Every structure is written in structure tokens, then in C-alpha cells.
Amino acid sequence: MNRFQVFPDLPIGNNHIRPRRLRINENIRSLVQENKLQKTDLILPLFISEKGTKRFDIESLPGVYRTPYDDLINEIDGIKKLGIHAIMLFPVIDISRKDLLGTEAYNPDGLIQNSIRKIKETFPDMIIFVDVALDPYTTHGHDGIINEKGYVLNDETVEVLCKQSLSYAACGVDFVCPSDMMDGRIAAIRTTLDTEGYTGTGILAYSAKYASAFYGPFREAISSGARSLDKKTYQLNPANSREAVREAILDIQEGADMVMVKPGLPYLDIVTRIKSESEVPVVIYQVSGEYAMLKCAAQNNLIDEKAAVLESLLSMKRAGADLIVTYYAKWICENIL
């Protein structure tokens, strides 16, 4: 007997198994809701520009802007008042500070280094995640060091990423977040941090970062000049799933405290697969292209923005995400939560 033959003699209309009983009204629906979105689930990406700059509204990301270093404390104060406890920092530096090797990435007096110190001095309980990669600091826009043929060199890049991570740890960052997808970088960074006494600095690894078409607005936001760059030699093939699980397992074995899937909505199956294999928190990144599409549809009255945003983020929770990096974090706290 299969599960549809438990009461074979009862007509469908008289069957006492009626799942709709749990959907009769809002109070019951809320009572049995399996996944909920909370403010503590959210990590807000924050673009920081250099001293002396002005706020810059990012045209392709409506409602998102570059925060000048001089306005950083006021910005963080507003974020905290909304109930957001975690931010992820990205630098927007002048082209004069960029070079082929990304040396500005580990400048002890660099923009991000100073920003970490400034935030921690005023808001010590704010959880700071910082992106670790070279694309904001290189003239070519790749995430690592390239050779004369334009190929990104793995081990040479990892060496610089260790210096970058160490410089952030020295300023008090909570989590370094390698987003470069180089082989072996988690083990190298973990060893470097531990050797230098920063055993309490965590690592959120971008373990499954795909070579996606959804990153365009982000590259404009940080002025990387990399909108058309081919990063397929180090980012994952969108057609693959086993490869993503393998990357996540390797990163956990190498010392990652959390692992990330990026982008978000097109890769919910990857979140679920990694979640089933992982003993550490799984993070998802609702990337700039996803945000921009929702904003564009909402501005053209094609969707109900509140309903669509909540549905999108709940789908990420349902897939298994513990935390969500989203440009919608402030908006959600103001309009939904």
C-alpha cells in the first residue's frame, strides 16, 4: 500500500487529511512557518571611498552608495540603529594607488585598514567582515597577480593574500573573507594568522564563487574596471555542482570557519548540497545583479518589492543559508523586519 491508499474507500472530498487546516489564517500560518528571516541573518556590504571624497550614489544599484571615509562613523551609527550587527567592507581607491601586484592591499595605513580601526574604536561590537582579493587594488582588475599572458598566478597570489589578511587582522577585523578562488589560500591564510598570534580572527571562505553574469554592478561600484574580464580560470563553471561541494569541503578542511555560495538565487541547489556536507555555517551572497533586477522590476511596477524581496531571501533560508549578504539589508530593516 502506498501513501495515497491509506483510506482507499473515502472519496477525496471526505478525506480527513487536509493540509489546508494549517493555512486557514495568518496566525496559524505564522505559527507553523518553517523558516523566518531575522535581522541577525543579515550582513550589509559597505563600499568605502577615500578621505576627502563625497558620497557617490551608484547608478546601477539604486539606494546603494559609496560611503566616504570621513562619514564612516555616522554611517555605522545609522546601521546599528536599524539593528544590523554585521557589515562587509569593500574599498574604492584612487587609480593612482593601483598597480600590477596589488601592493596597496596590505598597506598598514590603507583605506580598509584605517576603516577597521576607526569602526572598532567607536563600535567594538560591530562584526566586521572584509573582502580579501586583489581586484580593487590591481590596474587590470583581476583577483590576483597575472603573468605576461594575463593568466592569474596561484601561489604568488596566495602569498599576497596572506599579507593582506594579516594586515586586516592586525587592525581588529573579525573575519577575513578570501573571494579570490585560488587553490590552497585558506590553509595558507590560517597558518599565517595563527603563526602571528591572530588565532581569534575568523575566515569566511568564498568557497563556491561562480563565474557569473550577475556581478556587473559590483564592478562599477568599486571601480575595478573588470566588467568584461574573463575570470573563468579561477571562478567556478555555472554548470557544475560537485566541484562546488569539493571546494567547500577543502576549505573547511583547511580551516574555514564559514563557507559562502555566490551568487544567491541561481545557486540555491548548491547551498543545499553544501549545507548537507558542512559542519560550519553556510553563507549566501545576494549579489549586485540580483539586487539590481529586483530594484528595476519594482521601479517599473512589475513586482511588489516587499513581497518579492522577502520571498527571495526566505528561499535562501529555506535552501539552508545561515547568513545572507545583501544590499537590501538596510531596506529590509526599514520596511519589513
Binding residues for Mg(2+) are: 247
Catalytic residue among 98, 231, 262, 295: 262
Distance CA 249, CA 253 (A): 6
Look up 262 and say whether it is catalytic: yes
Look up 39 and say whether it is catalytic: no
Give the residue ranges of the annotated binding site: 247
The CA-CA-CA angle for residues 162, 201, 71, to 5°, reads 90
Catalytic residue among 98, 209, 317, 330: 209
Q: What is the grid cell recorded at 285?
A: 551572497
**Is the bond leading into 108 cis (omega within 30 degrees of zero)?**
no
Distance CA 50, CA 188 (A): 30
Distance CA 56, CA 59 (A): 9
State how beta strands 282-286 and 175-178 pair: unpaired
Secondary structure of the chain in HEC code, one letter for each residue: CCCCCCCCCCCHHHCCCCHHHHHCCHHHHHHCCCCCCCHHHEEEEEEEECCCCCCEECCCCCCCEEEEHHHHHHHHHHHHHCCCCEEEEEEECCHHHCECCCHHHHCCCCHHHHHHHHHHHHCCCCEEEEEECCCCCECCCCCCCECCCCCECHHHHHHHHHHHHHHHHHHCCCEEEECCCCCCHHHHHHHHHHHCCCCCCEEEEEEEEECCCCCHHHHHHCCCCCCCCCCCCCCECCCCCHHHHHHHHHHHHHCCCEEEEECCHHHHHHHHHHHHHCCCCEEEEECHHHHHHHHHHHHCCCCCHHHHHHHHHHHHHHHCCCEEEECCHHHHHHHCC
Active site residues: 209, 262
